[in-house]
Amino acid sequence: MAVRLRQLEAFRAVSQLGSMTRAAKQLEISQPAVSRLLSSFSASIGFKLFERHKGQLIPTQESRFLLREVSRLLDSLDHIDDLTHSLTARKAGHLRIACLPGFATSHMPRVLAGFLKNRPAVTVTLEPDRPERILEWIIGEQYDCGITDGFSDHPAIDSEDVAMRTVCILPKGHPLGAKSEIAPSDLVDEQFVYARRDSVFFRKLNDVFRAENLTMNYRIETRQFTAACMIVAEGFGVSVVSEMDAMSHRDKGLLIRPFKPMVPHVLSLLRPIHAPASMIALEFLEYFQDSLRPYRMDGA
Amino acid sequence: MAVRLRQLEAFRAVSQLGSMTRAAKQLEISQPAVSRLLSSFSASIGFKLFERHKGQLIPTQESRFLLREVSRLLDSLDHIDDLTHSLTARKAGHLRIACLPGFATSHMPRVLAGFLKNRPAVTVTLEPDRPERILEWIIGEQYDCGITDGFSDHPAIDSEDVAMRTVCILPKGHPLGAKSEIAPSDLVDEQFVYARRDSVFFRKLNDVFRAENLTMNYRIETRQFTAACMIVAEGFGVSVVSEMDAMSHRDKGLLIRPFKPMVPHVLSLLRPIHAPASMIALEFLEYFQDSLRPYRMDGA
DNA sequence: TAAGATTTATAACATGATGTTATAGTTTGG
DNA sequence: CCAAACTATAACATCATGTTATAAATCTTA
């Protein structure tokens, strides 16, 4: 007869407590139940588990040997119990996130800190890289979710777009700061700081200028909004960037003005469409969406 | 509902095989049984375990997380199964032996080697010490068995005596070697090598001499028969020692002759009487008895 | 797309593990 | 030796887990 879990539990309890009656109390079952569990266990393994001495049940040397292993097993069963609860409550799991480098250093750390705060058993891998690589990773199911921009549909990717507000940023004391709203024509004579000229966002921005027969006058290209903010804050040039990035550099001396017409910066939240959805990943994407709400075009 | 072992087994099998039908075959149960085990498990933990894709059951990320722990647990259960079988077959366990120093270096290594040969999971602690300490250890249940001599009953000790044959040993070329049998009177003019003058055995030997109004003429006292053998082999003196020890020094140049009347060397095999008997200890004592058979007074 | 094959789920039932209470037998300690 | 505590046994209830039969879903392929 196979070893039964209940037998092991009874065995451990009796070994520790030295009495079936007490073991029964601890296990919250009746004493005869314990008695039978032990005798069936003993019969199935073929040796005596206890020797009685003055009313105490003393483990035989064999059973002391066994007890070590049995305790280990029951401990790991408890661990599994905990784990299933944590997984259900989305308090455990592993999350692999790929995102744009700009996010990895600005918004993401804050979001992750908040997300992990109440999920002590969740571990995260955060991989910042170029958009194309992010797509590859999601398609290859190496990552559970990706944050990128300029994404257009892909059959293997489940995506959700979020249009983010953008703003014009100016160095402190810049004359345009006097205006409450900036138009393309205001920027024609300024030194423009690009963040990724080839990106969908900057092509759309260009379209706005071209629609009014204006040309953007750019001098510097950076790869991230964050970098553009810092350059402008240093007093060199102006730019149009995501409001979220602009806000986090506000205290570094930066004038922030609405830019009309507003060109949204479209973020995409990605998931591999074929891989089973990780609940923790879905939960994270939801949390991440929430974190964007203050900066969304349609947001509060 | 508590996590059931069977659910974990089914979960592991399906994870590994990607199909309930195959899992059922591996577990040697019917497919509906597996189906129900999985659905009940999934219900009790509260999340989906698998996602289907082209007829394959693909573990969700949560369940991959779980699987690691579950596999560990099932492995240790297998281990326990093995262990109970090994313990039943007395192929596992731990054995604590206390013995006279002379045994620890001569007879015991051979016996242990033979005993452990077919018992790969048995471990041994061998502690050589003086007879009084051996008694203390057995009484205190720090050791499972003890080998000593000169023992007389003790209420906390279960003992079994074995009378061992003794022989007279002479250096190679010694004139007494001409005799086929040695009597006390032959040894009166020899330099006698004692092994533990205070021992029961040597007191008995003394009695034999005194019965014939002879006195033993001793010069050297050693603590072990083994040492006595080596001294005699070096050409210094004669002695009467256990035949077993004499035999193992035969090739070092030692004449062995019967000593009449034979004074047995009485060994005692000890066990704590109160401690639950360890099956492996009982088995060892039996094995040890066997090893003594060729040298016993009443032996073959 | 329809047909056939394969896989999974559901239903109805048998059995054994594990719980219960009642009670008898053992052990311990004054 | 007796009372108290502990353990074993019996008789029974319930549930987990197995079975077979069969329906439903899904995949493969013509």
Dump pLDDT digits (tens) for A114-151: 999 989 889 999 999 988 899 999 988 889 999 999 88
Who wins on pLDDT, B277 or A250? A250
Cβ contacts below 8 Å, chain A against chain B, sum to 124
Nearest Cα to Cα of residue B87 among A68, A62, A15 = A62
The verdict on a CB contact (< 8 Å) between A47 and B279 is yes
Please list the ranges in chain B whose pLDDT falls under 70.
1, 299-300
Nearest Cα to Cα of residue A160 among A294, A288, A38 = A288
CA angle B72, B74, B75 (to 5 degrees): 65
- Cα A197 to Cα A219: distance, rounded to the nearest angstrom: 11
What's the Å distance between residue B236 CA and nucleotide D30 C1'? Answer: 103
pLDDT at B299: 62
pLDDT above 60 for A20: yes
Looking at residue A181, what DSSP letter applies? S
- The residues near A266 (Cβ < 8 Å, ≥ 6 apart) are A149, A150, A161, A162, A163, A164, A200, A201
Under a CB-based contact definition with an 8 Å cutoff, are residues A45 and B45 in contact?
A: no
Interface test with A, best of B12, B40, B58, B62 (most A CBs within 10 A): B62
pLDDT above 60 for A300: no
A55 touches strand C (CB under 7 A): yes
User: Could you read off the pLDDT of A65-123 as tens digits, one per residue?
Assistant: 888 889 989 999 988 888 888 888 788 888 999 999 888 888 999 999 999 998 988 99
A6 touches strand C (CB under 7 A): yes
- Put simply, whether A80 touches B (Cβ < 8 Å) is yes
- Put simply, whether A123 touches B (Cβ < 8 Å) is no
pTM score over 0.95: no
Q: Indicate the SS3 state at residue A297.
A: coil
Under a CB-based contact definition with an 8 Å cutoff, are residues A125 and A95 in contact?
A: yes
Question: Which run of H or E residues covers position A283?
Answer: helix A279-292
Q: Are strands A92-99 and A121-128 parallel, antiparallel or unpaired?
A: parallel
Distance between B80 CA and the closest CA of chain A, angstroms = 7
What share of chain A in percent tops pLDDT 70?
Answer: 99
Number of Cβ within a 10 Å radius of residue B298: 9
> What sign results for the dihedral spanned by CA atoms B128, B129, B133, B135?
positive
Question: What backbone phi and psi angles, to 5 degrees, belong to A12?
Answer: -65, -45
pLDDT at B235: 87
What pLDDT band is residue A195 in, cutting at 50, 70 and 90?
Answer: confident
Looking at residue A251, what DSSP letter applies? G
Mean pLDDT on A32-49: 88
